[in-house]
Amino acid sequence: MPFTQHHLSFALGSEIKGLDLSQTIDQPTIQALRKALAERGFLLFRNQDITPEQHIAFTKQFGELQPHSLDHYLHPEYPEIFVVTNRLQNGKPSETRNTGREWHMDLTYTKTPCMGSLLHCKEIPSAGGDTLFASLYKAYDELSDGMKEVLGKLNAIHDFANVSDLKNRTPESVKHLVEKNPPVTHPLVKEHPETRRKVLFFSDAVTSQIEGFSEEESQPILDFLAKHTTRVEFTYRHQWQINDLIFWDNRCVIHMAPPDYDRNDPTEKRHMFRTTLKQSLA
Protein backbone atom coordinates (compact mmCIF):
# COMPACT_ATOMS: atom_id res chain seq x y z
CA MET A 1 0.00 0.00 0.00
CA PRO A 2 1.51 3.34 -0.93
CA PHE A 3 2.20 5.92 1.77
CA THR A 4 4.37 8.99 2.06
CA GLN A 5 6.66 9.94 4.91
CA HIS A 6 7.37 13.53 6.02
CA HIS A 7 9.94 14.43 8.67
CA LEU A 8 8.43 16.29 11.63
CA SER A 9 11.61 17.66 13.18
CA PHE A 10 15.31 17.50 12.46
CA ALA A 11 16.00 14.87 15.10
CA LEU A 12 13.03 12.53 14.94
CA GLY A 13 9.47 11.77 13.93
CA SER A 14 7.71 11.20 10.64
CA GLU A 15 4.16 11.84 9.58
CA ILE A 16 2.77 8.99 7.50
CA LYS A 17 0.16 10.00 4.94
CA GLY A 18 -2.06 7.85 2.75
CA LEU A 19 -2.97 4.99 5.10
CA ASP A 20 -6.35 4.24 6.69
CA LEU A 21 -5.71 2.31 9.90
CA SER A 22 -9.30 1.04 10.10
CA GLN A 23 -8.37 -1.28 7.22
CA THR A 24 -6.03 -4.27 7.36
CA ILE A 25 -2.59 -3.12 6.25
CA ASP A 26 -0.62 -5.62 4.14
CA GLN A 27 2.60 -7.15 5.49
CA PRO A 28 5.05 -5.38 3.13
CA THR A 29 3.57 -2.07 4.29
CA ILE A 30 3.83 -3.14 7.95
CA GLN A 31 7.51 -3.95 7.36
CA ALA A 32 8.08 -0.55 5.73
CA LEU A 33 6.38 1.19 8.68
CA ARG A 34 8.48 -0.81 11.12
CA LYS A 35 11.64 0.35 9.36
CA ALA A 36 10.51 3.98 9.34
CA LEU A 37 9.61 3.71 13.04
CA ALA A 38 13.01 2.34 14.05
CA GLU A 39 14.80 5.02 12.04
CA ARG A 40 12.67 8.02 12.99
CA GLY A 41 11.64 7.08 16.56
CA PHE A 42 7.93 7.77 16.15
CA LEU A 43 5.26 7.86 13.44
CA LEU A 44 2.25 10.18 13.34
CA PHE A 45 -0.97 9.16 11.54
CA ARG A 46 -3.59 11.92 11.40
CA ASN A 47 -7.39 11.66 10.98
CA GLN A 48 -7.68 8.06 12.13
CA ASP A 49 -11.28 7.68 13.29
CA ILE A 50 -10.76 4.13 14.53
CA THR A 51 -12.55 1.98 17.11
CA PRO A 52 -10.71 0.32 20.02
CA GLU A 53 -10.97 -2.99 18.08
CA GLN A 54 -9.27 -1.43 15.04
CA HIS A 55 -6.61 0.18 17.24
CA ILE A 56 -5.87 -3.22 18.83
CA ALA A 57 -5.92 -5.02 15.45
CA PHE A 58 -3.43 -2.53 13.93
CA THR A 59 -1.15 -2.88 16.97
CA LYS A 60 -1.20 -6.69 16.74
CA GLN A 61 0.19 -6.55 13.23
CA PHE A 62 3.50 -5.46 14.78
CA GLY A 63 3.72 -8.17 17.42
CA GLU A 64 2.39 -9.31 20.74
CA LEU A 65 0.60 -6.94 23.07
CA GLN A 66 2.14 -6.13 26.44
CA PRO A 67 -0.18 -6.44 29.43
CA HIS A 68 0.41 -3.14 31.22
CA SER A 69 2.00 -3.40 34.65
CA LEU A 70 -0.14 -0.52 35.96
CA ASP A 71 -3.03 -2.93 35.84
CA HIS A 72 -5.70 -0.82 37.47
CA TYR A 73 -5.79 1.72 34.63
CA LEU A 74 -7.11 -0.51 31.90
CA HIS A 75 -10.17 0.07 29.74
CA PRO A 76 -13.06 -1.84 31.36
CA GLU A 77 -14.15 -3.45 28.07
CA TYR A 78 -10.77 -3.70 26.32
CA PRO A 79 -8.03 -4.70 28.77
CA GLU A 80 -5.51 -4.28 25.92
CA ILE A 81 -6.09 -0.53 26.20
CA PHE A 82 -4.50 1.64 28.86
CA VAL A 83 -6.61 4.78 29.31
CA VAL A 84 -4.62 7.99 29.77
CA THR A 85 -7.22 10.45 30.96
CA ASN A 86 -8.11 13.14 33.45
CA ARG A 87 -11.78 12.15 33.26
CA LEU A 88 -13.24 10.56 36.38
CA GLN A 89 -12.92 6.78 36.36
CA ASN A 90 -15.56 4.88 38.35
CA GLY A 91 -16.53 8.19 39.93
CA LYS A 92 -12.99 8.81 41.24
CA PRO A 93 -10.25 11.12 39.94
CA SER A 94 -8.22 9.17 37.39
CA GLU A 95 -4.65 8.53 38.42
CA THR A 96 -3.57 8.34 34.80
CA ARG A 97 -4.08 12.09 34.51
CA ASN A 98 -0.49 12.21 35.80
CA THR A 99 0.91 9.74 33.29
CA GLY A 100 4.33 10.59 31.94
CA ARG A 101 4.77 14.08 33.30
CA GLU A 102 8.54 13.72 33.37
CA TRP A 103 10.85 12.58 30.56
CA HIS A 104 10.88 8.78 30.38
CA MET A 105 10.69 5.59 28.37
CA ASP A 106 7.82 3.25 29.21
CA LEU A 107 8.28 0.35 31.63
CA THR A 108 12.05 0.64 32.05
CA TYR A 109 11.39 0.04 35.75
CA THR A 110 10.75 -3.58 34.66
CA LYS A 111 13.28 -6.05 33.26
CA THR A 112 11.56 -6.03 29.88
CA PRO A 113 10.57 -2.52 28.81
CA CYS A 114 8.10 -2.50 25.95
CA MET A 115 8.96 -2.19 22.27
CA GLY A 116 6.58 0.67 21.64
CA SER A 117 3.21 2.24 22.26
CA LEU A 118 0.40 3.56 20.08
CA LEU A 119 -1.45 6.53 21.58
CA HIS A 120 -4.77 7.57 20.02
CA CYS A 121 -6.22 10.97 20.80
CA LYS A 122 -9.94 10.99 21.70
CA GLU A 123 -10.36 14.37 23.38
CA ILE A 124 -8.12 17.45 23.76
CA PRO A 125 -8.11 20.49 26.02
CA SER A 126 -8.49 23.99 24.55
CA ALA A 127 -4.73 24.54 24.88
CA GLY A 128 -1.78 22.49 26.09
CA GLY A 129 -1.82 18.75 26.69
CA ASP A 130 1.02 18.28 24.18
CA THR A 131 3.48 15.39 24.16
CA LEU A 132 7.21 15.90 23.68
CA PHE A 133 9.60 13.34 22.22
CA ALA A 134 13.41 13.26 22.14
CA SER A 135 15.82 11.05 20.21
CA LEU A 136 18.13 8.81 22.22
CA TYR A 137 20.12 8.10 19.05
CA LYS A 138 21.00 11.78 18.80
CA ALA A 139 21.74 11.90 22.53
CA TYR A 140 24.27 9.10 22.11
CA ASP A 141 25.74 10.34 18.83
CA GLU A 142 26.42 13.80 20.24
CA LEU A 143 28.49 12.59 23.20
CA SER A 144 32.25 12.92 23.03
CA ASP A 145 34.24 9.74 22.35
CA GLY A 146 35.55 9.84 25.92
CA MET A 147 32.06 10.01 27.41
CA LYS A 148 30.78 7.28 25.05
CA GLU A 149 33.51 5.00 26.33
CA VAL A 150 32.83 5.72 30.00
CA LEU A 151 29.03 5.43 29.77
CA GLY A 152 29.31 2.33 27.59
CA LYS A 153 30.70 0.43 30.57
CA LEU A 154 28.04 1.47 33.08
CA ASN A 155 24.69 0.13 34.22
CA ALA A 156 22.01 2.29 35.77
CA ILE A 157 19.31 1.50 38.30
CA HIS A 158 15.73 2.18 37.18
CA ASP A 159 13.37 2.53 40.13
CA PHE A 160 9.65 3.25 39.92
CA ALA A 161 9.81 4.85 43.38
CA ASN A 162 11.92 7.63 41.81
CA VAL A 163 8.93 9.03 39.88
CA SER A 164 8.29 12.45 41.38
CA ASP A 165 4.54 12.63 40.86
CA LEU A 166 3.88 9.67 43.17
CA LYS A 167 2.91 12.25 45.78
CA ASN A 168 -0.16 13.00 43.63
CA ARG A 169 -1.37 9.42 43.75
CA THR A 170 -3.14 7.51 46.51
CA PRO A 171 -0.82 5.88 49.09
CA GLU A 172 -2.40 2.44 48.44
CA SER A 173 -1.72 2.55 44.71
CA VAL A 174 1.84 3.80 45.24
CA LYS A 175 2.45 0.94 47.69
CA HIS A 176 1.02 -1.56 45.21
CA LEU A 177 3.14 -0.21 42.34
CA VAL A 178 6.37 0.05 44.29
CA GLU A 179 6.01 -3.46 45.72
CA LYS A 180 5.20 -4.84 42.30
CA ASN A 181 8.15 -3.10 40.65
CA PRO A 182 11.40 -3.46 42.62
CA PRO A 183 14.42 -1.60 41.14
CA VAL A 184 16.09 -3.16 38.07
CA THR A 185 19.28 -2.34 36.18
CA HIS A 186 19.85 -1.63 32.48
CA PRO A 187 23.01 -0.71 30.58
CA LEU A 188 23.32 3.04 30.01
CA VAL A 189 24.17 2.42 26.37
CA LYS A 190 22.12 -0.07 24.38
CA GLU A 191 21.98 -1.07 20.75
CA HIS A 192 18.66 -0.81 18.92
CA PRO A 193 17.93 -4.37 17.74
CA GLU A 194 16.77 -3.30 14.28
CA THR A 195 18.90 -0.34 13.26
CA ARG A 196 21.94 -1.52 15.28
CA ARG A 197 22.46 2.11 16.25
CA LYS A 198 23.44 2.94 19.81
CA VAL A 199 21.09 4.77 22.16
CA LEU A 200 21.67 6.53 25.46
CA PHE A 201 19.28 4.54 27.64
CA PHE A 202 18.37 7.11 30.26
CA SER A 203 14.98 7.99 31.74
CA ASP A 204 14.91 11.07 33.94
CA ALA A 205 11.76 9.85 35.72
CA VAL A 206 13.09 6.51 36.91
CA THR A 207 16.89 6.26 36.43
CA SER A 208 17.86 6.71 40.04
CA GLN A 209 21.53 5.79 40.38
CA ILE A 210 24.58 4.49 38.53
CA GLU A 211 25.21 0.91 39.60
CA GLY A 212 28.25 0.60 41.86
CA PHE A 213 28.40 4.39 42.49
CA SER A 214 27.32 6.23 45.63
CA GLU A 215 24.37 8.59 45.40
CA GLU A 216 26.73 11.53 45.66
CA GLU A 217 28.86 10.23 42.80
CA SER A 218 25.86 9.33 40.63
CA GLN A 219 23.92 12.54 40.91
CA PRO A 220 26.18 14.81 38.80
CA ILE A 221 26.18 12.18 36.03
CA LEU A 222 22.39 11.83 36.18
CA ASP A 223 22.02 15.63 36.10
CA PHE A 224 24.21 15.81 33.02
CA LEU A 225 22.27 13.00 31.31
CA ALA A 226 18.91 14.64 32.07
CA LYS A 227 20.09 17.90 30.53
CA HIS A 228 21.83 16.27 27.59
CA THR A 229 19.06 13.85 26.51
CA THR A 230 16.53 16.69 26.38
CA ARG A 231 18.54 19.25 24.41
CA VAL A 232 16.03 21.18 22.31
CA GLU A 233 17.63 20.09 19.04
CA PHE A 234 16.96 16.44 19.92
CA THR A 235 13.23 17.01 20.48
CA TYR A 236 9.83 17.38 18.85
CA ARG A 237 6.67 18.73 20.50
CA HIS A 238 3.33 17.39 19.33
CA GLN A 239 0.14 19.45 19.53
CA TRP A 240 -2.59 16.85 19.34
CA GLN A 241 -5.66 16.88 17.14
CA ILE A 242 -8.55 14.49 17.75
CA ASN A 243 -7.93 11.18 15.94
CA ASP A 244 -4.16 11.58 15.76
CA LEU A 245 -2.39 8.34 16.45
CA ILE A 246 1.29 8.34 17.43
CA PHE A 247 3.30 5.13 17.44
CA TRP A 248 6.59 5.56 19.29
CA ASP A 249 9.56 3.22 19.42
CA ASN A 250 10.31 2.90 23.12
CA ARG A 251 13.81 1.62 22.36
CA CYS A 252 15.13 4.90 20.94
CA VAL A 253 12.98 7.79 22.20
CA ILE A 254 11.97 9.35 25.49
CA HIS A 255 8.71 11.23 25.86
CA MET A 256 6.83 13.40 28.34
CA ALA A 257 3.50 15.15 28.84
CA PRO A 258 3.92 18.62 30.41
CA PRO A 259 1.61 19.14 33.40
CA ASP A 260 -0.18 22.18 32.06
CA TYR A 261 -3.72 22.14 30.64
CA ASP A 262 -5.74 21.31 33.78
CA ARG A 263 -3.65 23.12 36.38
CA ASN A 264 -6.09 25.97 36.80
CA ASP A 265 -9.21 24.59 35.20
CA PRO A 266 -10.35 21.08 36.09
CA THR A 267 -13.03 21.20 33.38
CA GLU A 268 -10.32 20.94 30.69
CA LYS A 269 -10.34 17.32 29.54
CA ARG A 270 -7.78 15.15 27.80
CA HIS A 271 -8.59 11.54 26.93
CA MET A 272 -6.30 9.09 25.13
CA PHE A 273 -6.25 5.35 24.44
CA ARG A 274 -2.96 3.49 24.37
CA THR A 275 -1.92 0.01 23.26
CA THR A 276 1.51 -1.36 24.09
CA LEU A 277 3.76 -3.85 22.30
CA LYS A 278 6.04 -6.35 23.98
CA GLN A 279 9.78 -5.96 23.63
CA SER A 280 10.46 -8.87 21.32
CA LEU A 281 9.24 -8.42 17.80
CA ALA A 282 7.23 -11.10 16.05
Total residues found in the chain within this entry? 282
**85, interface contact from ligand OGA, Mn ion, none, CB < 5-8 Å by kind:** none
Give the active site residue among 34, 40, 97, 104.
Answer: 104
Burial class (CB in 10 A: 0-12, 13-18, 19+), 87: middle
Taking the least distance from each CB to ligand OGA, the nearer of 34 and 255 is: 255
Q: Which is nearer to Mn ion, 106 or 268 (CB)?
A: 106
- Asked if 158 interacts with ligand OGA (CB under 6 A), we say no
222 or 256: whose CB is closer to ligand OGA?
256
Is residue 118 involved in binding ligand OGA (CB under 6 A)?
Answer: no
Tell me which stretch binds ligand OGA (CB under 6 A): 63-71, 98-106, 167-175, 220-228. 98-106
Among residues 40, 55, 251, 255, which is the contact residue for ligand OGA, using CB under 6 A?
255
User: Which lies closer to ligand OGA via its Cβ, residue 221 or residue 234?
Assistant: 234
Please say whether the dihedral angle defined by the alpha carbons of residues 72, 78, 80 and 82, taken in this order, is positive or negative: negative
Catalytic (active site) residue 262? no
Contact track, Mn ion, 162-191, x by CB under 5 A: ------------------------------
> Exactly one of 58, 272, 273, 275 binds ligand OGA (CB under 6 A); which one?
272
- Cα 67 to Cα 81, 140, 172, 257: the distances in Å are 9, 30, 21, 22
Question: Total residues at the site for ligand OGA (CB under 6 A)?
Answer: 11
152 touches 81 (CB < 8 A): no
Residue 274 sits in the site that holds ligand OGA (CB under 6 A): yes
The dihedrals phi and psi of 250, each to the nearest 5 degrees, come to: -70, -5
Shortest distance, position 69 Cβ to ligand OGA, whole Å: 12
CA distance 117 to 81: 10
User: How many CB atoms are located within 10 Å of the residue 71 CB?
Assistant: 12
Provide the sign of the torsion angle of the four alpha carbons 188, 150, 141, 132, taken in this order: positive
Taking the C-alpha atoms of residue 117 and residue 276, their distance in angstroms, rounded to an integer, is 4
**CA 72 → CA 16, 56, 81, 180, distances in Å?**
33, 19, 11, 13
The residue (of 9 and 218) whose beta carbon lies closer to ligand OGA is 9
Sites for Mn ion among residues 80-119 (CB under 5 A): 100, 106
Out of 68, 186, 255, 270, the active site residue is 255
- Main-chain phi, psi angles of 222, to 5 degrees: -60, -40
Which own/partner pairs from 28-33 qualify as long-range (CB within 8 Å, at least 24 positions apart)? Answer: 29/1, 29/3, 30/61, 30/62, 32/3, 33/3, 33/247
CB of 266 to ligand OGA, least distance (A): 17
Binding site for Mn ion (CB under 5 A): 100, 106
Binding site for ligand OGA (CB under 6 A): 84, 99-100, 106, 117, 119, 131, 255, 257, 272, 274
Active-site positions read 104, 106, 255, 274
